[in-house]
Amino acid sequence: MREAILYEKKDNEAVWCHVCEHHCLIHEGKRGICGVRENRQGILYALNYGITIACAIDPIEKKPLYHYLPGTKTYSIATVGCNMVCPWCQNYEISQSPKPNHAIEGIEISPLEHVNSAILKQCPSIAYTYSEPTIFIEYALDIMKIAHQKGLKNIWVSNGFMSNESLDKIIPYLDAVNIDYKGSDDNYMKLCGGKAEIIERNLIRLYQAGVHVEITTLVIPDVNDSKEQFEVIAAFIAKHLSKETPWHLSRFFPAWKMKSTKITPILTLELAKSIGIKSGLTNIHIGNVW
C-alpha cells in the first residue's frame, strides 16, 4: 500500500482522484471505480502498490504490437483492478476482483525485482498489461524509471482513459502503447464507462509526444461491428494520427457477461479491413483467427 499520486483533499475527509478521467470523488472509507484506490481518513492510498497478480513472458506480438521490437519477448505484469467494466473482459477475474471492497490479491514484488527479472530473462521491454496500468500508475512508474535506467523499453496496453495529469507522468518513460479503441460513445457509456472523445484525445497526445502507438478494436457482434463504426475509427486514425498507425481488428470470442454472444464472423473483420484500406491505412492486422 502506498499513498496515491494525483489526488486532492476536499472537505469532510473526502478526496478527488485525478488518475483517470472518471475523477472519482471518494469519501472516507470508500474506493474509486477501479476498486484499488481507497480513502483512509482523508488520504488516498493505492492498495495495489507492489502487489503483482500476473507476471509472464510473452511474444511482443501478443500485446498486440506488430511494429515495435518485432520478434522479441516482453516481460508482462499486472495488478488487480480496472477503471472500466467491459462485459466482454477476458481478464475479468483480475480486473474486477477487488470491487467493490474485496481483498487485493497477488504477490509482493518490488519494482527493482521486476526489472532484474526482465533482464535475467533477456527481455528488452516490460509491458504493463492484462488489467489497466493507469490504476497501478504508482507501481508502474517506479518500475518504468528503473527500467529506463537499465536500458529497457516500457510498453502500456491500456483502455486509454487516463487523465492528462497521468500522461504528464508516464510519457517521459513510455516507449510504446497499444490502446483499445472500442468505437462510439454509446459503447463506452452504456457498456464500459468512459467516453470515446477522451480515448481520441489521449491517442493524439501520445502520438504527438513520439510514443509508438498501435490501436486495437475488439470487433463484437451487435456492439461495434457496423460499417459506420468502422468508418469513424478508420477516419480518425488516418486524419489525426498517421495512415501508417497499425490498426488491429481482433475477433471476439464469448467471455464473462457475454457468453451467449456469437463469435465475430471473419467476413465482418474483412469488411473492417477493407474500410481501413479505403481510408488509406497501410498497417491493418486481423487477430484472434487461425
Which residues span the domain enclosing 124?
51-287
CA distance 117 to 121: 6
Low-confidence ranges of the chain (pLDDT < 70): none
Number of domains in the chain: 2
Residues 264 and 161 in one domain: yes
Query: What pLDDT digit, counting tens, does each position of 158-200 carry?
Result: 999 999 999 999 999 999 999 999 999 988 998 999 999 999 9
Residues 40 and 127 in one domain: no
Residues 41 and 98 in one domain: no
Is the peptide bond preceding residue 221 cis, with omega within 30 degrees of 0? no
| pLDDT at residue 290, as a whole number | 85
Element at 73 (helix H, strand E): strand 73-78
Task: Choose the final residue of a domain: 46, 66, 82.
Answer: 46
Residues 88 and 124 in one domain: yes
CA distance 134 to 78: 11
119: exposed, middle or buried (C-beta count within 10 Å: 0-12, 13-18, 19+)? middle
Element at 156 (helix H, strand E): strand 153-158
Residues 216 and 101 in one domain: yes
| pLDDT at residue 102, as a whole number | 98
Residues 41 and 110 in one domain: no
Q: What predicted TM-score, i.e. pTM, was given to this entire model?
A: 0.97
Identity at 215, one-letter amino acid code: I
Residues 67 and 20 in one domain: no
Residues 20 and 138 in one domain: no
Residues 36 and 61 in one domain: no
Query: What pLDDT digit, counting tens, does each position of 100-115 carry?
Result: 999 999 999 999 999 9
CA distance 259 to 257: 6
CATH at 280: 3.20.20.70
| pLDDT at residue 1, as a whole number | 87
